[in-house]
Amino acid sequence: MINAFSLSSTIKHGVLILGALIVLVPFYMMVSYSFKSPGEIERNTGGFFGSQELMVDERCVKLQDPNKDEVIALRSRFPGLGDDGVRKAFMAEVERDCSMIPVVFNYSKAFSQAPLLRYLINGVIVTVSIFLIQIIVALPAAFALSKLRFLGRETVFNIVILGLLIPVHAIALPLYIMLAKVGLVNTYAALIVPWTISVFGIFLMRQFFMTVPDDLIDAARMDGMSEYAIVWRVMLPTAIPALLAFAIFSVVAHWNDYFWPRIVITGDRSLFTPPLGLREFKGDADGSFYGPMMATATIIVTPLIVAFLIAQKRFIEGITLTGMK
């Protein structure tokens, strides 16, 4: 075992650590930028956290710059000053109100500049709906393909295998035309419908159901359960581990999906999913908004990363499910 600490092992760790650093740099920079002031971002100063010196939000100040009428209205608050004096005194006050430390500025701007909370809620609505519908469609189908005897089972299963070949992104254009024809573009339905059928889900659950003993099902039939009741009350509980893995697979894919939302959501911000929101932010951003943009990116990336760190094994299992094909 002395060899384990030999030169070769040191070199291996060296290479692995170098790789890990390259993998981590963008995450480090993203979080770091989300803490810093525009000046620090541009000059690359301030280390990881930035100096967190109070900064003035120029836009906030500009918005409150009083016009002539407002100055007149303000006279009573600053007695004994000329109009110019009133304005200056007021602006000094505004500047004080508009200053904050960069980290607060970035994260509050991320939520106030665009309806980020709305985007996040949309993301949850879309991913959860997709997963639930996928399960409702796939479980009975998988049950039929694994546990029921009927003419044509092989044929249907072969169709499922064939369906695995078709990446939904590749047929996005005709799907978009179909949705446009029925007037569904720019709706939640457009975000959800194309993903309601997961051929992979059917395939996966079928493989899993094959391992469930027939006795269990026969016993349930003896008790007078209907076939549907068997799916939901007997098969579903046994399938929890596989289901969880599939849930992770599905949620990660659709939370991060950018291509499909980009195509079917055109302009209606209230339907944006998190990646669309971030992309929109990038489109509007001028130099001073890099901080808030990185804060938005951090907020979008964090939920999955945190979930992954908590339940690593399950996540790796879920994401690599495709390896079972």
Partner 1 sequence: MTKALNHQRQTRSAWIMLSPALILMMVILILPIMIAFGLSFTNYGLGVKSVDFVGLENYERIFTRSTFKKMFTATVLYVIIVVPFSVGLGLGAALLIQSVQRGREFYKTIYFLPVMASLLAMAIVWEFMLHPTIGVLNETLQGGCDSTVIHGLLTGSWYGADPLTSWYGDKCANGFPLWLGDRDYALWTICFIGIWQSFGFNMVLYLAGLTSVPKDLYHAAEMDGASSAWERFRLITWPMLGPTTVFVVTITVIRSFQVFDTVEAIFPDSGGPGKTAYVMMFAIYEKGIKQNLLGTGAAITVIFLMFVIAVTLIQRWFIDRKTHYA
291-320 positions binding partner 1, by CB under 8 A? 293-294, 297, 300-301, 304-305, 308-309, 312, 315-316, 319-320
Q: Which of 6, 24, 63, 284 binds partner 1 (CB under 8 A)?
A: 24
Q: Give CA angle at 191 (186, 193), nearest 5°.
A: 115
Exposure class string for 188-203: b at 16+ Cβ within 10 A, else e: ebbbbbbbebbbbbbb
Q: Which of 44, 112, 158, 270 binds partner 1 (CB under 8 A)?
A: 44
9 contributes a contact to partner 1 by CB under 8 A: yes
**Nearer to partner 1 (CB atom), residue 12 or residue 96:** 12
216 contributes a contact to partner 1 by CB under 8 A: no
**Nearer to partner 1 (CB atom), residue 270 or residue 302:** 302
**Nearer to partner 1 (CB atom), residue 87 or residue 206:** 206
Q: Which of 2, 7, 23, 310 binds partner 1 (CB under 8 A)?
A: 23
Q: Which of residues 235-254 bind partner 1 (CB under 8 A)?
A: 252
233 contributes a contact to partner 1 by CB under 8 A: no
In angstroms, give the least distance from the CB of 275 to partner 1: 5
In angstroms, give the least distance from the CB of 184 to partner 1: 13
151 contributes a contact to partner 1 by CB under 8 A: yes
Cα–Cα dist 129/277, whole Å: 20
Instruction: Annotate each residue in 103-122 with x if it binds partner 1 (CB under 8 A) or - if it does not, as one string.
Output: --------------------
In angstroms, give the least distance from the CB of 61 to partner 1: 24
Number of residues that bind partner 1 (CB under 8 A): 93
166 contributes a contact to partner 1 by CB under 8 A: yes
Q: Which of 148, 210, 216, 240 binds partner 1 (CB under 8 A)?
A: 148
33 contributes a contact to partner 1 by CB under 8 A: yes
Burial (CB count within 10 angstroms: exposed 0-12, middle 13-18, buried 19+), residue 214: exposed
168 contributes a contact to partner 1 by CB under 8 A: yes
**Nearer to partner 1 (CB atom), residue 86 or residue 318:** 318
**Nearer to partner 1 (CB atom), residue 49 or residue 228:** 228
In angstroms, give the least distance from the CB of 105 to partner 1: 18
Q: Which of 92, 121, 171, 219 binds partner 1 (CB under 8 A)?
A: 171
Q: Which two tokens stand for residue 129?
A: 């709906």
Sign of CA dihedral 110, 130, 270, 184: positive
How many residues in total does the chain contain?
325
Q: Which of 59, 96, 233, 325 binds partner 1 (CB under 8 A)?
A: 325
269 contributes a contact to partner 1 by CB under 8 A: no
Cα–Cα dist 255/300, whole Å: 9
Residue type, 4: A
Q: Which of 215, 283, 286, 310 binds partner 1 (CB under 8 A)?
A: 283
In 10 A of CB 265, how many CB atoms?
A: 21
73 contributes a contact to partner 1 by CB under 8 A: no
Phi, psi of 20 (to 5 degrees): -60, -40
